[in-house]
């Protein structure tokens, strides 16, 4: 029931953002400003809030396991993505498929999903699992999406540090410090963190709708665009579920791993492709991947939530 309710809520919140954009309630750079607000304020507050519970050695050991799992699973999807890239002739479609197999929309869809399904503990484990992904994600996008032979901008150490230690990553370390020391913040400060953190989930889903509102839906109904959601929304979660079963993961850890894999394509894929690949067809294909995968996820996320519940009673 929770998963079905979540599916309806996901669709409605995305539709609100879509309606707001298409009806010109918002305009200009509102989506960029909202992204900055969520990433730099609301989301860090949500992360800190999720880590302000009572200390537990079991939870701490689970966090270490999740970091190791994240690195292993990243390596597996990278190998699969490289295989897909070569099978597709090292084309733009291959680059988009490779990136999509590796990275999901773990911020604007993932954290709301984990909060709705598994509460603060689910968010806690999820944001710890994401630390290695976040640190690789921002620094690898240009290399993965740029056409071969295209000159790349030399990244300075400051640029790399900015990507590695973004506000959500810093918030994880702040949250872990509070968790380990059991330091209690003053009541007004804790209240503000709680209130701002509560905004992150709904605003993130509305932002997805705003982003999707920029694309023409009727141009997306081509076979090559429809293939990617089958891989991202069905094949990768099935693979992660099998691995979770083979390694006998605890239920809490399996939920994080499989639901991470069940998320749609990373929303920044379209923006990264615009930035790194000048070909209009590549840019449109990246937008199509984000759009179709996100809409499919409204139905496949509840499916995988129920499958995990059955596989790990």
- The pTM of the full predicted model, rounded to 2 decimals, is 0.83
The pLDDT of residue 184 is above 80: yes
Which H or E element spans position 126?
helix 111-145
Other Cβ atoms closer than 10 A to 135? 16
Tokens of 283: 């840019």
Token digits for 142? Answer: 């240009």
Q: What share of the chain is helix, strand, coil (3-state, %, to 5)?
A: 80, 0, 20
Question: By the 8 A CB rule, do 51 and 122 touch?
Answer: no
Residue 242 pLDDT level (bands cut at 50, 70, 90)? very high
Confidence (pLDDT) at 160: 63
> Is residue 30 pLDDT above 60, yes or no?
yes
Strand partners, 265: 104
Query: Residue 164: pLDDT above 60?
Result: yes
Q: Do 180 and 55 contact (CB within 8 A), yes or no? A: yes
Query: Tokens at residue 30, please?
Result: 């509102």
Bridge partner residues of 104 (DSSP): 265
Pick the CATH number of 2-311 from 1.20.1530.20, 3.60.20.10, 3.40.50.150, 1.10.760.10: 1.20.1530.20
Q: Collect all residues with Cβ–Cβ distance below 8 Å to 287 and sequence separation of at least 6.
A: 214, 215, 270, 273
Model confidence at 284, in pLDDT bands (50, 70, 90)? confident
Q: What CA–CA distance (Å, rounded) separates 95 from 85?
A: 6
């Amino acid at each position: 029931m929770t998963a079905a309710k979540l599916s309806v809520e996901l669709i409605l919140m995305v539709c609100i953002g879509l309606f707001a954009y298409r009806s010109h309630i918002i305009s200009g750079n509102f989506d960029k400003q909202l992204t900055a607000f969520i990433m730099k304020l609301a989301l860090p507050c949500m992360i800190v809030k999720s880590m302000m519970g009572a200390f537990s050695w079991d939870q701490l050991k689970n966090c270490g396991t999740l970091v190791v799992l994240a690195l292993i699973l990243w390596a597996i999807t990278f190998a699969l993505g490289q295989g897909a890239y070569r099978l597709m002739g090292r084309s733009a479609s291959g680059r988009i498929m490779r990136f999509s197999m590796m990275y999901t929309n773990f911020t604007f869809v993932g954290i709301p999903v984990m909060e709705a399904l598994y509460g603060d503990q689910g968010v806690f484990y999820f944001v710890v699992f994401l630390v290695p992904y976040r640190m690789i994600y921002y620094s690898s996008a240009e290399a993965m999406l740029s056409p071969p032979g295209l000159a790349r901008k030399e990244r300075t150490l400051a640029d790399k540090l900015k990507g590695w230690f973004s506000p959500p990553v810093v918030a994880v370390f702040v949250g872990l410090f509070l968790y380990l020391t059991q330091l209690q913040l003053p009541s007004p400060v804790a209240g503000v963190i709680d209130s701002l953190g509560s905004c992150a989930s709904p605003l993130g889903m509305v932002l997805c709708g705003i982003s999707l509102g920029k694309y023409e839906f009727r141009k997306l109904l081509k076979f090559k665009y429809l293939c990617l959601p089958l891989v991202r929304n069905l094949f990768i979660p099935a693979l992660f579920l099998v691995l979770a079963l083979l390694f006998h993961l605890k239920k809490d850890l399996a939920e994080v791993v499989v639901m991470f894999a069940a998320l749609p394509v990373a929303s920044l894929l379209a923006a990264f492709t615009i930035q790194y690949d000048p070909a209009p067809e590549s840019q449109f294909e990246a937008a199509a991947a984000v759009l179709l995968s996100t809409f499919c996820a409204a139905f496949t996320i509840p499916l995988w939530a129920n499958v995990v519940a059955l596989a790990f009673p």
